[in-house]
Structures are given as C-alpha cells and as structure tokens.
Chain A
C-alpha cells in the first residue's frame, strides 16, 4: 500500500467519524418526535411509569391511526405488536381458546357482556383512565354498567343507505326494503343478528328476542326478502355501492360517511323503526402481561391532540369530547365535516329510537340456523 493511499484512507476514517459524531450529537438535541409520515408526536399530558418493553394490541382491521403506533413507540420506547381481527366472533374464539398474551382488545357491546360473564376481561382502574374526556352519553351503558371493564373507543349505527341518483322512491323504514322495486339492487351486512334483528323490528318485536315463535315469523318474512338481496358483505359494502353493482342497502356509519364523501348522492337514512346502535371499546384481557403499557397507551392516544386523528381516518361517532374540542380549534375542516353530517353527528331522536344488539345465549344457534335457512334453503 503506498503512502498516499494510506493518508487518503486515514482522512476518510477521520471524516466518517466526524460525520457520525455530528449526527449523534444532533440526534440528542432534537426534542421533537416525528413519525415517518411527518406527524409531530405530541408530548403525553402526564407521562406514566412504564417498565414493560412491549405492548400487544389485538384490534379490528384498519381501526387505529398509524401515527399512534409510531408516536407511542417513540415516546414510551415500547415496541408494539399488532394483530388484527375482522369480527367480534373471531376475536372471542381466539381469546376463549386461551394461550394468547394480548394487552388490549376492542370488543363491541354485545360481546363485552359475554366476555365479562366468561371471565375473559379484567377490571380497570378508572382513576388511571381519561374518563373525564369522554361524552357521558357513551359511558355506563347496559353491557358494562359503571364501565368496570371497558372504556369507549368509537360508536356507530347500522342503518339504510341509498343512491339518490338511482333510487326514485327512497326507503324510510326497514319495512320499505321489501318493496319489489328494490329487488336485486341491495347489499346487506352478512350479519345474522343485524338482518334478523331488523326483520324483527318491522314485525314490532324486540331486536334481541329469544321467543321461537317470533323468530319463526321473522324467518318467514325474511325468506321473502333474501332472494331480492344481491350481495351480503360485512367487509366493505360501500365498494359494491360505489362500483354501481347495487343502489341501496344496509351499512354502518364509517362506510356510509366515506361513500357520501366520495359521492354526495349516497344518503344515509335512520329508519322509522329505529337504527341499530353499537359501540366499540377498549378492554384488557385477563392475564395481560403489560398492564402499565396498556394504561399508558389508552391515556396517550385518547388525548385530544391524538384522538382527533380518528376524525380524519375513521369517521364514526367520536365519543371523545377532548378530540372534538381539539379539532374545533385546530382542524376546523374535519370538525365541520363531522358536525355537519347526520351520519356522524347523529340526531338525538335517532339515538333515542335506536336498538342495541345483546348476546342471546341459548338462542344463538337458532339465529344462525334461521340465517342458514333463509340464505341456503332455495
């Protein structure tokens, strides 16, 4: 090796170490934590003591803003493991089989009740939770009186949607869906409880009935309707609506809001019998290994300056007063879109008229049998 090459090499080594030192120093000085999408992570209002190094989330598919994960990892130095499910039943089946180590799950109202009875959830310490930032309308509901086990995440409705450009006589009630004019133009949720429940409502029965005679009557009525339904889809009914494969049907808040933003001709109607109301919640399964991180996660993500991201990404009914307050001052466009739309800002009389699905215990297989029969019995 010649002398000059050696000098050059030495110079290079010096230069590299200088650059590295500069970077290291620079990194230590920055106080702002920024996600890969450029979102500046807010500081936690009160930073909690977290000794866990991981947090295992088990959440609905596409149901938390990506910034939350990155920010929480940056702020608390906790690694987030993230599993997803696409139905409450799937989540319940996995948890009740045992052997999981999730710290947080997002059960919907009717399954919360069942999970509490099965001893799958553990009691929460309300003093450590941001209860005061939530709208009391979404607290202390029948499935979890006193919010011993859950804290609300998002709420929504299942109701009627139609394309005003294509439907000349729009439906006003669930009963109207039997109109032969709508034959082969409808998308329904692939959900036995919602569709049978809606049929029960048109007959004037309770949405959670376990009376076999009432259910038999509903089955006969539903059997007339099912051949007129073009498609059952609980994953993304808006896709078929927007693609023009169907013109009306039953869908839920977030899907309706997105369809309406894309094409204002999509109108969401709260039926005269009353819509189906539901609420997703955070809950901690028994045996969760990282309780401290779970509390820190709920507190951090439910801050107004974090939870407003839900308005942007997941336009459902937002139970966080803090998030709405923050959006009002900082994201007026999102706030106005939310407040102006009856899909997200549900009129009080629609909420009062609404019905909640509850677990029906021994009647669950009967509901499924009716569902199989009306769909499969030619």
Chain B
C-alpha cells in the first residue's frame, strides 16, 4: 500500500481529491438528484410528495396554467416568470453598480504605497468579520424614518431653519439595492485588486514611451489586464445575489418577492416541495446559462492575460 502510494502518481492524486470528491457527492450531487426527482412529483393534500413524472411544476413556473379563473382550457399568467426576471435584473444592476464602485477603490489600493496597502485591504475585510444579517440590521438603523440619516439631515435642516420631511428609504426597492451592493462589494474589490496588483509597472512606462496618454494607457493596458479580476468578481457577486432573500426580506419589508423568497415559501408556508424543487432547479439552470455565456465571452478570469 505504502509502496504503491509512493510510486503511483495517479493514485496519489485520487487519494488527495477523494475527501473533496466525497463531500461533493454527499452534499451536492445526491441532493441535486433528489431535488430533480421531487420536482417531477405532485403534492398531496398534506404537503407530501407523490412521486411521478409530470412537468406540471415547470409548466406552472413558466406561467402556463391549466387552472384558469375564466374556465378556459389554458391561460398564461407570467407571475413566476416575472419573479425570475426581477431577480435577474436585480442581480444584473447590483453587479454593475458593484463594479463601478469597486474598480476605482481597487485601483487606489493597488497603486497605494505597499506599506499602506495592507491597511486598506484590512479595512475592506474587517466588515466581513461581522455576521451578514447583523450588517443588514445596521442598514435598517441608518435608513429608517427616524433613523440616523434622517436624523442628521433633520438636524442640519433645523439649523438652517428649513422645513424637512423625513425621507422614506427603508422598505423600498432602493433599500434592497443599497443593501445588496454593500454586502457584495468586498467580493468584487478583492479579485480586481489582485489582478491590478499583478500588472508590471514597466508596462505603463512602455505605454507612455510609445506616446499613449494616461486615458489611453488605461483603456489599452490597465483595463484589459484587469479583466480577469472583474470576471471573477462578477461571478462571485452575480450568483449569490440571484439566490439571496435575507436582504430583500429585511430592507424591502417583504414587499419584494425574489426567486429566493419564492423557493423558501414553497418549502414552508405553501408546503409544496415539488414546486419548490422545480423553482430551485430553474434558478440553478438559469444561473448556469448566464455564467456560461459570460465566461465564454470573457473566460473564467485567467486566459485573458495571455492576449
């Protein structure tokens, strides 16, 4: 055994990856198969699963109903399709805003004096030491009608003798967007920082020698070379935002139903695991499709360096 281990390289490899492999099989692959099987079943009156092979959960998810209020044979109700669309658009806008905010900051940190760089990186990381949910509650304190932000504006307004009506910020879609951007910003800053930091300084000098102005240098040198970071960050932000429901629950006042909320409701209040499983699979497939086309265009983040 030991001899074999010492000599056989491929056996060594198998042994090394087997813990991860077992983990993936037990906690990802098997649950995924179960989810698929359940999604083709039907719900019984008490919320159990009658196994079978029926597409009705998927048909319902995409808005085709056989149970129409008017009594006709079939009708179209884009309720769940709208929810999927809304989640996609929220994830898209969150990612765009996060890139816009993270890029300049990452650039600033990467160009900072190496002594200060670590301090700045720590400042980005420190908020992550606090629990996700607690940070969302902190935003509630800031945004509420009699919260910190309205308090400060009101105080300033009173000093200048201006009439001030508190802003309605909490429990609005805008609050959800702000919360999402805040939560996922570090996951964009770090990969962009890493790829910016790797760019050799002589490349800039060469660009300048060849007559490129700073703007052109940025467009032709910095931006292409930092794309791997942007791509990696986008994947790290877009996918979790698609499935998150805590932020929309707390900051949106449960007014906004996203696909994450939809799935949660199926397993709890609706007690319909079959529909919930179908929605989970569709979420996964949709995310995979978006990621596939995105990575096909931009790569997974490494190949671009060679260009």
Contacts and interface: CB of A to CB of B under 8 A. Distances in A.
B257 A375 contact: yes
A196 to B, nearest CB: 11
A92 B46 CA distance: 11
Given A92-B271, A230-B171, A361-B46, 5 more contacts: A96-B48, A216-B69, A368-B270, A376-B86, A376-B257
Nearest to A373: B79
Contacts of B43: 365
A231 B171 contact: yes
Given A117-B46, A365-B272, A372 B79 contact: yes
Interface residues of A, number: 40
Chain A contact surface mostly: helix
Contacts of A378: 82
A153 interface: no
Interface in B260-276: 262, 265-272, 275
B254 A231 contact: yes
Nearest to A87: B268
A233 B171 CA distance: 11
Contact of A245 (B45, B144, B256): B144
A361 B275 CA distance: 16
Contacts of A341: none
B47 interface: yes
A367 B270 contact: yes
12 contacts: A89-B271, A93-B271, A96-B47, A96-B48, A191-B269, A232-B255, A233-B253, A243-B144, A243-B146, A368-B270, A372-B257, A373-B79
What 9 pairs across the A-B complex have the smallest Cβ distances?
A368-B270, A231-B253, A376-B257, A232-B254, A89-B268, A361-B45, A365-B272, A244-B146, A362-B45
B268 A90 contact: yes
A216 B69 CA distance: 8
Interface string A69-98: 000000000000000000101101100100
B83 interface: yes
A364 B47 contact: yes
B69 A245 contact: no
A376 B145 CA distance: 24
Interface residues of B, number: 33
Interface string A233-258: 10000001001110000000000000
A376 B83 contact: yes
A93 B268 contact: yes
Contacts of B254: 190, 231-233, 375
A202 B253 CA distance: 25
Interface in A326-378: 359, 361-362, 364-365, 367-369, 371-373, 375-378
A89 B255 contact: no
B170 interface: yes
A372 B74 CA distance: 20
A50 interface: no
Interface string B36-76: 00000001011110000000000000000001010000000
A17 interface: no
Interface string A166-209: 00000000000000000010000011110000000000000000
Contacts of A244: 145-146
A372 B83 CA distance: 9
A46 interface: no
Nearest to A190: B254
Interface string A144-166: 00000000000000000000000
